[in-house]
Amino acid sequence: MWFKNLLIYRLTQDLPVDAQALETALATKLARPCASQELTTYGFVAPFGKGEDAPLVHVSQDFLLVAARKEERILPGSVVRDAVKEKVEEIEAEQMRKVYKKERDQIKDEIIQAFLPRAFIRRSSTFAAIAPKQGLILVNSASPKRAEDLLSTLREVLGTLPVRPLTVKIAPTAIMTDWVKTQKAADDFFVLDECELRDTHEDGGIVRCKRQDLTSEEIQLHLSTGKVVTQLSLAWQDKLSFMLDDKMVVKRLKFEDLLQDQAEQDGGDEALGQQDASFTLMMLTFGDFLPALFEALGGEETPQGI
């Protein structure tokens, strides 16, 4: 249970429920399979384990872990378009008349309903860690849409969820550009070998560098012509590495072997113990890492009125 991406949300008030109340709320909207005529379903699942007895909220120290699953029927647009075209051509040829938009849309709806039971099904899960004492919700995703799906469903079952995306006082682009220019990051942070550079002008160019010495003259030349760093690979202490982007999204999180080995030792022989130990250690690491990251980016921004 190591998160690979991180979208960070700030609770603007205390979470109005405890673990047991949260468990009860999540149980009102369980994940379920798509019915034959449904395009998609969404609901909560147990983050660890399977079966009816597996809890929907995993509690470890002061941290809570929840998970939601989306199930959707995959109906390729090209298949639908071809079928609609074929049906329209058949009607126009047999009835010697033109098929207009309203009828075409009706044909499309009928074809979708006919194809749905045979469509492939795709399942995807999204995990979120809640740290009430820190006032944070951390979603294991790089997609704001997927995070919002989970948060809005959580809000639906709780009746309220006072949360907003966490923002910082200095734009990540400005800080990352300065780190590459000066070849020095904030304390405990280290610039690695990957970045994305963008020209700030409209329709400006993009340069992506991998396995590149970011202290090289080539990179410095790009910066001197006005490009800014919009993604940068970084390491923090000797515990994790990640890619930070200009929207404050932490991507490609990788926890170093030292932490993973410690979790294995702490977790014992059972899978659930291993999952619990890795989740706990990850959250304790975030407890030090995230405040350091916020501080490196000028501190957390608190919008007026909050």
Give residue 75's pLDDT band: very low, low, confident or very high (50, 70, 90): confident
pLDDT at 263: 81
pLDDT of 73 above 90: no
Give residue 304's pLDDT band: very low, low, confident or very high (50, 70, 90): low
Query: Considering only CA atoms, which of 264, 261, 258, 288 is closest in space to residue 277?
Result: 264
Lowest mean pLDDT among 37-41, 67-71, 239-243: 37-41
Q: Domain ranges in the chain?
A: 7-72+121-165, 77-117, 168-301
Give residue 84's pLDDT band: very low, low, confident or very high (50, 70, 90): confident
Query: Considering only CA atoms, which of 194, 168, 146 is closest in space to residue 246?
Result: 168
Give residue 231's pLDDT band: very low, low, confident or very high (50, 70, 90): very high
Is the backbone of residue 241 left (phi > 0), alpha (psi -120 to 50) or beta?
A: beta
> pLDDT of 114-168, one tens digit each?
888 778 888 999 999 999 999 999 999 999 999 999 999 999 999 999 999 999 9
pLDDT of 1 above 80: no
Secondary element (H or E) of residue 136? strand 136-139
Is the backbone of residue 287 left (phi > 0), alpha (psi -120 to 50) or beta?
A: alpha
pLDDT of 285 above 80: yes
Query: Considering only CA atoms, which of 295, 171, 244 is closest in space to residue 5?
Result: 244
Q: What percent of the chain has pLDDT over 90?
A: 58
pLDDT of 306 above 70: no
pLDDT at 150: 97
Q: What is the average pLDDT across 29-36?
A: 90
Distance (Å, whole) CA 283 – CA 164: 20
- Tell me the C-alpha to C-alpha distance, in Å, between residue 142 and each of 7, 101, 127, 239, 250: 6, 38, 12, 21, 7
pTM reported for the whole predicted model? 0.85
Mean pLDDT of the chain: 90
Q: Which two tokens stand for residue 110?
A: 């009928």
pLDDT at 222: 86
Q: What is the average pLDDT across 95-100?
A: 88
> pLDDT of 4-28, one tens digit each?
999 999 999 988 788 999 999 999 9
Pairing state between β 167-168 and 163-165: unpaired
Distance (Å, whole) CA 302 – CA 106: 50
Q: What percent of the chain has pLDDT over 70?
A: 98
> pLDDT of 193-224, one tens digit each?
999 999 887 677 888 889 888 888 888 888 88
Give residue 305's pLDDT band: very low, low, confident or very high (50, 70, 90): low
pLDDT at 96: 87
